[in-house]
């Protein structure tokens, strides 16, 4: 494989088949993902996006902890909040249905549909990605969503929600 082929492969994020691997646990390494989705090694930011994407491709969540898993080893890392951030989004019209595409901080793209579970924690929306990892909605995206969100009142609570691919995704709740 040439260097340009490897670079192209790293440009498009794909999650490795970590569920098929059962390597030995090799301890914890000084790698951390902070609340802003920044990856750090020994408290220094990892600035090469290709390297972050490579680590993200082997990141897993098991029993409340995060691990990097390869066929040969499994190491624990720390994550302050969610490992990924939703940093951009766009409405699309797909066969007459409105869909929302979101983009994560590692340039992974997802359509908001019934396969993405959503929840609100501390007034911030989160989505569980198909990999079982979570993405927190970045503050800028959240403010943009509040501008276009629809409202519905349920008893003494008003929900703000987005409609995408035939489903409603609650992004916030306000007490009346």
Topology at the third CATH level for domain 84-175: duf1285 protein fold (2.30.270)
Of 107, 103, 160, nearest in space to 137 by CA: 103
pLDDT digits (tens, 9 = 90+) for 1-10: 332 343 344 3
pTM higher than the cut 0.75: yes
Torsional sign, CA 129, 131, 132, 136: negative
Contact 65, 59 (CB under 8 A): no
The yes or no reply on domain 3-79 and CATH 3.30.70.270 is no
Please state the domain extents for the chain: 3-79, 84-175
pLDDT digits (tens, 9 = 90+) for 26-48: 999 999 999 999 999 999 999 99
Longest distance between any two alpha carbons in the chain, whole Å: 61
| 3-class DSSP state of 146 | helix
Q: What is the pLDDT of residue 13?
A: 53
pLDDT digits (tens, 9 = 90+) for 67-95: 999 999 999 999 999 999 999 999 988 87
CA dihedral 100, 104, 109, 111 (to 10 degrees): -30
């Amino acid at each position: 494989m040439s260097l340009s082929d490897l670079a192209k492969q790293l440009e498009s994020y794909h999650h490795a088949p970590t569920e098929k691997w059962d390597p030995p646990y090799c301890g914890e390494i000084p790698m951390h993902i902070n609340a802003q989705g920044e990856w750090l090694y020994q408290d220094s930011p990892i600035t090469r996006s290709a390297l972050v994407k490579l680590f993200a491709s082997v990141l897993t969540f098991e029993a409340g902890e995060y691990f990097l898993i390869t066929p040969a080893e499994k190491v624990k890392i720390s994550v302050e909040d969610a490992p990924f951030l939703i940093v951009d989004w766009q409405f699309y019209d797909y066969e007459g249905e409105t869909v929302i595409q979101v983009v994560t901080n590692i340039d992974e793209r997802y359509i908001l549909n019934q396969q993405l579970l959503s929840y609100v924690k501390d007034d911030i929306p989160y989505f569980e990605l198909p990999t079982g990892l979570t993405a927190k909605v970045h503050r800028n995206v959240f403010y943009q969503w509040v501008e276009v969100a629809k409202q519905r009142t349920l008893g003494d609570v008003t929900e703000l929600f987005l409609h995408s691919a035939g489903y409603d995704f609650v992004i916030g709740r306000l007490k009346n």
